[in-house]
Structure 1
Amino acid sequence: MDNSRVLLFGALAFVLLLLWQSWMDQYMPVEVNAGQTSIELSGQEQAQLDAIPSQQAAPVTQDGLPEVTASSEQPVQSEVGGLTNVQQSLGRIIVKTDVLYVEIDRLGGDVKVVDLPDYPISKNEPDLPVRLLTDEPSELFISQTGFLSSNGDAPNHLSKWASDSLEYTLSAGEETLEVLLTWANSEGMRVTKTYLFKRSSHNIEHKMEIVNGSNSVWEGRQYQQLQRKKSDDKNKPSFVYTYLGGVIYNMEDGYEKVDFGDMEDEDLSRDRPAGWSAMIQHYFLAAWVPSAEETNHFYTKTLSDARYVIGSYSEGYEVAP
């Protein structure tokens, strides 16, 4: 077992609510041991990782970065300065499948734009697809991922990532498409972020591989979140009411809406095994589905400029050199 190499998994899903039940059948959590800290490795191998001290809910900064405080009152977070504009860019990676058009920014390595070609905005505009995720400031709705580390550098949604190409297309005859991004620091830490796309699927599998080539143990947690600006859906008929806001789901609490007013009143903060967090817009849902094999901390936060965050972070992990 190679304790210096760790794989963490999740999935980013885009769901038409008419297909809700079939998606729930696939992603409804199963009961797991809340104390379990092992994670699946390739080749059926598992790495048993010691959890760092249990942590209590804490705020998200105005950069949208989750902050976590350990029970020992030792801060467990990544310090980020200067990059306060979520619209900055380091160049886009374009991904095309038979059912998705996706833009991934190399600043953060995150999904910033998602079009659904099978779903036109209206019957009068059949060639104009629904744009579910966008970094357009007035309609901001983006995905953000990264790590929170207590004792070293770690990439977050403001970090710079590298890729071998700026365009990927799922070709005829291919069933899957992988997009890899890499991050490294001068101390020997290396992280590979992989997005796996599948034919005819609106789910994007997400994998983070940590390789510790430094001289010390790395401690940290993975977070996955959605950031949304409170704005009307310009594609929604004015006479139709549809929910716009957050949702969480787990076996203990069931399905629970967390609207923007709820987020303004109080930050959501709870630990739950399995589950997922999402934002619903019009007839569509975008959800982060973390690993069902561990307990995750689910949270919300209200940011400036009518922006809202919903997401989760994982248990703590140690990665040996």
Structure 2
Amino acid sequence: MRHVERVVVLALDGVYPFELGIPSRIFGAADGRYEVVTCTVDGKPVRSNADFSVMVERGPEVLRTADTVVIPPVTPASVTAELPAEVTAALAQIRPGTRIVSICTGAFVLAAAGLLEGRRATTHWQLADHFRRMFPHVALDPDVLFVDDDPILTSAGAASGVDACLHIVRKDHGSALANSVARRCVVPPWRDGGQAQYIEHPVPGPTTTGTAATRQWALERLGEPLALADLAGHARMSLRTFARRFGDEVGMSPGRWLIQQRVARARQLLESSDLPVDQIAGEVGFATGASLRQHLHAAIGVSPQAYRRTFQTAR
């Protein structure tokens, strides 16, 4: 029988309902690999930041059974440098080594509990200065979607919680399952944790042409040498216009985006096939196996062989 990971979501007073539901929605779509339960610090209802309260069936004792604990965000005004005694007591139930995930202002809770001391972390970009003043010993990076400083993972606001949970599914079970979960939930299958939190998307005019069709065209041709001129030509734009519009829509240059997509595809092939590294490099558009090794190491800090070994062991 396969192990079912227990994910315990701790709902605190002032919890944001949208983010509270993310773990159940994402992990619940992972083919029974996870069990998601929700608790509060005393087993009683908590107020949300909306016009309703949240009823739960469990108290803090279930935190002792967790493989992963998720702390959704709470109203920023309710966050202090010192936690209420009942929150501290609840967090003390978490076993050492348990994976802990925060979404948005949930990072304030972890920092106040001393769990982020000396670690890299992130939170919502609008609260970065406030966080730094409160917790100067945390290495805050406010420009990214999430930070995985194993076994603690912190994520930015709202939808970045989806990215963080998909990252966990991918890390635990591979890209195929994570992509399947993303399709079921109708969300992007992969946004790199290092992607910028805040991208200003100008509202396009009614006749403005975007780059989405060209991005899909490129994804179907990753094994081919794709230059900026090829992409701009497909989009029927000048090089300058295409690069500007691509940056507005995606938040990065076309070249960086292509590298990210090629690395993502290479990870899928490393997980699901026994193809040699040099052949995988060619399949995804890297000139050599050395180039793939360089880009994979830059993205996730490991070699192709080590990455493949990790997932073969998991299987």
TM-score bucket of the superposed structures, by smaller chain: under 0.3
Q: TM-score under structure 1 normalisation? A: 0.22
Normalised by the size of structure 2, how large is the TM-score? 0.22
Higher helix proportion (structure 1 or 2): 2
- Mark the structure with the bigger radius of gyration: 2
Pick 1 or 2: higher relative contact order, CA cutoff 8 A, min separation 6: 1
Query: Hey, which of these two has a bigger chunk of strand by percent?
Result: 1
